[in-house]
Amino acid sequence: MTNIHAPEVLISEVGPRDGLQSVKATMPTADKLRWIDALAAAGLREIEVASFVPAQLLPQMADAAQVVQHALRHTGVRVMALVPNLRGAQAALQAGAQKLTLPVSASPAHSMANVRKTPEAMVEEVKAVLRLRDEMAPGVPVEVGMSTAFGCTLQGLVPEDDVLRLAVLLAEAGVDEIGLSDTTGMGNPAQVSRLFKRMFQEIGPLTGAAHLHNTRGLGLANGLAAYEAGVRTFDSSLGGLGGCPYAPGASGNVVTEDLVVMFEAMGVSTGVDLHKLMAARAPLKAGLPGEPLYGMTPEAGLPKGWV
C-alpha cells in the first residue's frame, strides 16, 4: 500500500530528541546509533537526533555531538538538532547539524518556566542564532517550533493572536520555518485547522511543522486537520516515545507508526517503509528496556496486504 510516487509529506522523527528527553533512563549511545540507523533505513528523511543542552542538566544528551556525527553518514537524512540558545547552536553547528530547531513559547508563563526568558527575549536569542548560522554555516536552515501554541497548562488559554504575532516577529527575524507545537496536548482539530490557516495567511511558505502530542488521543485527528489546512511536515516519535513516567501516555508525541499508516492509507506518500519502521522498534526497546511504547499499529500488526 506504500505509495510509490514522490513523498508528499515529510515525517520528521523526533523520538531521539523529544522522546528521549522525556524518559528517565539514559539510553546508551550505541543503542541510539543503532536506532537512528534503523530509522534512516526505514526512509525517514529528517530526524531530530539530539538536544544541545548542558550535560549536567540533561545527561541523556551528553553524547549529542557524537550522535550528530554518526547520523551524518546517512546521506538521505537531514540531521536536525534542538538548541535552546546561542551556545547550543554553536555546539550543534560545530558537530555538523544540518538543521537547527529552537523552542520559543507562545505562553509567557511557559517561556519563563522553561528557559527563564520572555518570548520576546527568545526572539532576540533566535536572532543571535541566525547571525551565528550566517557566519558558521550559511546553508543550514533554522526552524522555530512554537511551544504551547494550542494551550498551556500554566497559563491556560493561549490567545491565537499572540501565536500569530510571535510568528510574524520570527518571520521578520529571518527564521526559515516556523512550526506550531501542541506541547501540552490541549489542541483540537478545529483549533489546529484555524491556527495553521492563519499561519499560511500571515507568513505563507515559512509555515513549518505540526508538532502534535497524543495526550488525549487526538494526535492523528489533529494531524489530519493540519494536513487539510496545508501543513506538509509532521513531527512524531516512534512508539509515541515521550510519555511522562508519572502519567503513562499523558504526554507522548504522535506515534510515527500510526501516522504513517494514516497518510499512506489515504494515498498520501510519506516515503517511509512501514515494515522497516516497525523493525526500528527493536533497537529502541533494546536501549530502553521496560519503557512503555505506544501505537495501535504495532499492537494490531500491519494491514493485510500492505507492501
- Chain residues binding a copy of itself by CB under 8 A are 153, 156, 185-186, 188-191, 214-218, 220-221, 223-225, 247-251, 255, 258, 261-262, 265-267, 295-297, 299-301, 303-305
CA gap 152, 186 in Å, rounded: 8
By beta-carbon proximity to a copy of itself, the closer residue of 24 and 216 is 216
Residue 10, helix vs strand vs coil: strand
By beta-carbon proximity to a copy of itself, the closer residue of 54 and 303 is 303
Q: What angle do CA 174, 177, 183 make, to 5 degrees?
A: 120
The catalytic residue positions are 244
Q: Which three cell numbers stand for residue 123?
A: 526572539
Write down the least CB distance from residue 250 to a copy of itself, Å: 4
Q: Which three cell numbers stand for residue 193?
A: 485547522
By beta-carbon proximity to a copy of itself, the closer residue of 199 and 218 is 218
Write down the least CB distance from residue 96 to a copy of itself, Å: 35
Write down the least CB distance from residue 189 to a copy of itself, Å: 5
Q: Which stretches of 166-281 are assigned E, i.e. beta strand?
A: 177-181, 207-211, 233-236
C-alpha dihedral (281, 40, 16, 252), degrees to nearest 10? -60
Q: Which residue has the cell 509532521?
A: 234
- Phi and psi at 59, nearest 5°, equal -55, -30
Count the neighbouring beta carbons within 10 Å of the beta carbon of residue 86.
Answer: 16
**Which amino acid appears at position 284 of this protein?**
L
Q: Which three cell numbers stand for residue 106?
A: 507562545
- 19 touches 293 (CB < 8 A): no
Write down the least CB distance from residue 222 to a copy of itself, Å: 9
Write down the least CB distance from residue 142 to a copy of itself, Å: 31
By beta-carbon proximity to a copy of itself, the closer residue of 52 and 294 is 294
By beta-carbon proximity to a copy of itself, the closer residue of 290 and 305 is 305
Share of the chain residues as helix, strand and coil, in percent rounded to the nearest 5: 45, 15, 35
Q: Which three cell numbers stand for residue 70?
A: 554518526
